[in-house]
Amino acid sequence: MAAHTMLMGIFPYLDDVLEAIGRLKAKGVAIDTVYSPSRSHEITEAMELKRSPVRYFTLIGGILGVASGFGLAVYTAAQWRFIVSGKPVIPTIPYVIPGFEFCILISVFFNILGLILNTRLPKYRVPEHYRPELSEDRFGILVRCPADRRALVRDLLHEAGAEAVHETAR
């Protein structure tokens, strides 16, 4: 089994990164990670990444919140046996407000939980291959390749516009 090498290409422009991703995918090279100083839908589309599951956490939190808000209001009305003078003991219209408020509250909590779980936070140490300029104004592509294809991948990254290509440890 051939040993794998990790190469990090540093790019100044988004267009160069997109071109590099296309070239690497065309040659069948596995892209491990793409670093960007800001969110880029173009990179997400080029990498053909799945949509985030955080939205499902938020949806589940919202449904649980509405049910909890209505449930709390209904439980309170049933427990305290309010005198309602011929009106329904458990009216639905006034209970929309606690249902809505609980929906927002629990949705936010579940959203934050989903973000923490899906981003694998907290990260206690920065990966060895990470460079500070990737958070400022540069893009990076971390590529895993067999040792015998190292020269090919290095050339592909340089041809696409990489300022520098570094061999790194994972």
Asked if 158 and 11 count as a contact pair (C-beta separation under 8 A), the reply is: no
Mean pLDDT of 33-40: 92
Please state, for a pLDDT cut of 70, what percent of the chain lies above it: 98
Residue 3 has pLDDT above 80, yes or no: no
Sheet containing 139-146: order of strands: 30-35, 139-146, 4-11, 164-168
For residue 25, give every residue at least 6 positions away whose Cβ sits within 8 Å of its Cβ, in sequence order, or none. Answer: 31
Q: Taking residues 22-48, what's their average pLDDT?
A: 92
Parse the chain into domains and list their residue ranges: 4-50+131-168, 54-118
If one counts every other C-beta atom within 10 angstroms of the C-beta of residue 15, the result is 12
- How confident is the model over 140-166, as pLDDT tens digits? 999 998 888 899 999 999 999 999 998
Q: How confident is the model at residue 170 (pLDDT cuts 50, 70, 90)?
A: low
- pLDDT tens-digit series, residues 55-97: 999 999 999 999 999 999 999 888 887 777 888 888 888 899 9
pTM over 0.85: no
- Whether 169 shows a pLDDT value over 80: the answer reads no
Q: What is the CATH number of domain 4-50+131-168?
A: 3.30.70.260
Quick one: pLDDT at residue 1?
A: 45
Task: Report which of 156, 161, 149 is spatially closest to residue 6, judged by C-alpha positions.
Answer: 149
Report, as an integer, the average pLDDT of 39-49: 91
